[in-house]
Structure 1
Amino acid sequence: MTHFDLIVVGAGILGTSHALQAARLGKKVLVLEKDNFPTSATVRNFGQVVPSGLSGRWHRYGQRSVQLYKEIQAEFDISVRANGSVYVASDEQEWQLAHEAEELFRDKAYPTQLLSAEETLARHPYLKPSYVKGSLFFPDDVSVEPDRLVHRLIQYIQQKYGVTYLPNTAVLDCQPTAEGVEVVTARREKYYGQHVVVCNGSEFRLLFPDLFASSGLVVSKLQMLQTSPLPNVTLAGNILTGLTIRRYESFEECPSFARITTPHQYEELKKWGIHLLFKQAMDGSIIIGDSHEYATADRTDELGFDVKEHINELILREAERIVEFPVIKIARAWAGYYAQHPDEILEREVAPGLHIITGIGGKGMTSSLGYAEEKVKEWF
């Protein structure tokens, strides 16, 4: 059969989330992925699912996503671990923001707890006492394995809902017809969908070049590192630091955020968009990062494919200021790229039933399931 209720172009977390939500409504779904498996932003991140870092509707989508992740994990292992997140303040400004954020999240009914320096170090003994002013703990945040989650989720929607998944299937054209939207692949196969949603990052320039040129998309390049397995170190959940408190949008809502200043030791880090996160993978290794360099989507090549050693050195130098364990035991380093948009996400209806949804930025792993649930219910 070549007719579907929903065809998804792109099997990253955003596309797979739309497929899942349509399948949960009993719709017939096809997912087309140009590569052997998803290889872009979805698998090149920390695997931190943190509604605590988001504000507005994205926080709400993140809360719903966490609920769905946990429900799926209860019946099918997609690598979800419910260990929470802690944001560690290192100075008075960050500690003040933590206090204000605790009050804001209490109003949002998202559980959180302020921890003194002593309480923080008791829970996280690998932190250096000289760094810790206090922390803000979010028990409902979760961790996932970025190189495993989407693959397991694709298996889940195939097995539970009968979703058709075709990897190594590049899409050449999407056009509205009397039968819905016609999708043509590189093998000249044709599929028809009542709705087609294109969720393939900045790659939609190949399908809709004029729209792409005027889209306003920006691509961010991130550098991350991963240690060798550290069998004597156990991180209790996601570890986010003072630089993250100074960066994440949830803290921008705090009354004193506009008045914070940049300490001298942060100036070079801020230049490269560096904020320190630590997340332990299931094999005991620890992912550390990250940095941010930006280019408009039509100039992405200027970001380069190299990993800048200077940025990695800055990341590791700051990491050594924060933690006791040996961050120099680096097994690998990589750059990830994700598309983002000034309007929070790029949503375009090219024709009736033909949608482009991309540019979700760093919110994808946390909020895609909740966001897609709302969009799919609109369509059907």
Structure 2
Amino acid sequence: MKPMYDLIVVGSGVLGSFHAYHALKKGLRVALIEKDKMPKGATIQNFGQVVPSGMDTKWQAYGRESLAIYKEIQSQFDISIRQNGSVYLASNEEEVQLIEELSHINQSNNYQSHLLTKQQCLYKYSCLRSDYVKAGLFFPEEVTVEPRTMIYRLQEFMIQNMGLKLITNTSIINCESTPNGVSLSSAANEDFLASKVIICNGSEFKNLYPKLFNESDLEVSKLQMMQTKPQKNYVLPGSILTGLSIRRYEAFYECPSFKSIKAKEDPHSLEKKWGVHILFKQAADGSVILGDSHHYAEAKNIDDLGFDLDMDIDNFMIQEAKKIIDLPNYEIQNRWYGTYSQCKTKDIFEHTIDDNIHIITGIGGKGMTGSAGFSKENINKIFNRKE
């Protein structure tokens, strides 16, 4: 007889894995099913920045909960979490005004942040250009992760310490409720049975419920990123977010001056055309991750985004990055693009097929930061359990 699980999660990226984690924390029997040998989508194709500071008030709360969860797990098992803070670097007086306003908002939210003078920024961040930075806003509680290793270590922790059943190389092609629960079938004619199912993978969502998928307001963003060669004897601590990030991230939408400042921007600039904002993060091997850009297409038309890297975009990002930090070298060893799905009208896609089958996807760029906290609340809701 096939084992009966309390929950099967389809899709082992960060959103699916943390749904599994919180269900396991409640003592439930959980299986996590992955169509590939390992997750290889947005979860590993991102910067690895956990930055609640960039989110609106609702998602900042999820992000702050995520920080606590990451740190709790890291205290027991190395999943690559480094608490080295995040900084937003203002390059002109308008951006200084925005970080000052965000600082006041965070004071009212009881979220710790520190305004930095120009000299403090130059002292803290080596090779930061004096002709770029005017001031900074630093968030000491925020962390970075190594996205290409974190998810695998998290799953290893859940297998070793929490009893997770991880099933890989298994593509689910049928999902339906039965009198005994939810029955799943794979392309290899394997059957699985659970009390409840959560589908967190866009591919399975598209294959299992094509009409619902095509009628959804999901869109896909394609982001280009780069990795320099290791920087010898150079340390760039934490996540570095710059003036274009200040003008893009949702947290700043809540600042009183945001609309008037955004209205002055050139709608025909290259950063607007390509959705560029400049980020830096030093990886564990000393290399620096640079990016990123944003192109959008409806999820059902994802192929419209193409499969190539646009070198004009990469060259523009390097050109802009050099105006901000004089890295010892800008030799690029890796270039790639990642994709993530998001909703046009909502902050995440949630749909209940029936009481026992739930689709949760389209978390967008909030995945690494918000998934752990959001999943905790969502598991409570799905299983009607209070903290």
Shorter chain as denominator, the TM-score bin is over 0.9
> Deviation digits for residues 50-78 of structure 1, max 9, x if unmatched?
00011122110100000010010011000
Stretches of structure 2 that go unaligned for 5 or more consecutive residues are none
**CA–CA distance in structure 2, aligned partners of residues 23 and 112 of structure 1:** 33
Q: How many residues align?
A: 380
After superposition, the Cα gap between the structure-2 partners of 1:327 and 1:207, relative to the gap in structure 1 and judged at 3 Å, is: farther
Q: How many angstroms does 1:126 deviate by?
A: 1.5
Look up the match of 2:144: 143
> What residue number does 2:297 align with?
295
Residue of 304, 320, 345 corresponding to 2:348: 345
Per the TM alignment, residue 269 of structure 1 is displaced from its structure 2 partner at its CA by: 1.1
Do the aligned partners of 1:320 and 1:327 also contact (CA within 8 Å) in 2? no
For structure 1, list consecutive stretches of 5 or more residues without a partner in the other structure.
Answer: none
The residue that corresponds to 1:318 in the other structure is: 320
* Aligned counterparts of 1:277 and 1:304: Cα–Cα separation in 2: 23
Structure-1 residue corresponding to 2:238: 237
Aligned residue in 1 for 2:360: 357
CA drift of 1:313 comes to 0.7
> 1:246: Cα distance to partner?
0.3
Contact 1:202–1:358 (8 Å) recurs in 2 = no
* Runs of at least 4 residues off by over 6 Å: none
Within 1, Cα distance between the matches of 2:329 and 2:257? 33
From the superposition, tell whether residues 16 and 174 of structure 1 become closer, same or farther in structure 2 (CA, over 3 Å).
same
| TM-score normalised by the chain length of structure 2 | 0.96
**Separation (CA, whole Å) in 1 of partners of 2:105 and 2:382:** 33
For 1:49, the aligned partner's letter is: V
Quickly say closer, same or farther: Cα 1:210–1:31, change in 2 above 3 A.
Answer: same
| 1:371 maps to 2:366 | no
Match of 1:167 in 2: 168
Matched, 1:117 2:127: no
SS in structure 1 at match of 2:285: coil
1:5–1:194 CA contact under 8 A, matched in 2? yes
So what's the TM-score if we normalise by structure 1?
0.98
1:200-239 matched pairs, under 5 angstroms: 200-239=201-240
1:117-150 CA deviation, whole Å, 9 max, x = no partner? 0111011121100000000000011000000110
Partner of 2:91: 90
| 1:75-107 alpha-carbon deviations (Å, 9 max, x no partner) | 100000000000000001101000000000111
The residue number in structure 2 matching 1:308 is 310
Distance in structure 2 (CA, Å) of the matches to 1:177 and 1:203: 19
Contact in 2 for aligned 1:316/1:327 (Cα 8 Å): no
Amino acid at match of 2:361: T
Separation in structure 2 between the aligned mates of residue 112 and residue 157 of structure 1, nearest angstrom:
32
Matched, 1:76 2:77: yes
Partners of 1:251 and 1:309 in 2: how far apart? 30
CA-to-aligned-CA distance 1:203-256 (integer Å, 9 cap, x gap): 411110010011110000000000011122201111000000000000110000
Alignment of 1:251-270 (within 5 A): 251-261=252-262, 262=264, 267-270=269-272
Task: Report SS of the residue matched to 1:41.
Answer: coil
Cα distance in 2, alignment partners of residues 56 and 196 from structure 1: 29
Q: Percent identity?
A: 47
Maintained 8 Å contact 2:229/2:330: no
Match of 1:364, as an amino acid? G
Matched, 1:281 2:273: no
In 2, the alpha carbon distance for the partners of 1:327 and 1:178 equals 62
CA distance in 1 between partners of 2:204 and 2:298 (Å): 13
How far residue 265 of structure 1 moved from its aligned partner, in angstroms, is: 11
* Aligned counterpart, 2:40: 39
- Report the Cα offset of residue 327 of structure 1: 5.1
Partner residue, 1:185: 186
2:147 aligns to what SS in structure 1?
coil
The CA distance in 2 between the partners of 1:85 and 1:120, in whole Å, is 12
Alignment check: 8 A CA contact 1:10 1:34 kept: yes
Q: Which residue of 2 aligns with 1:272?
A: 274
Q: Secondary structure at the match of 1:334?
A: strand
Contact 1:81 1:143 in 2 (8 A): yes
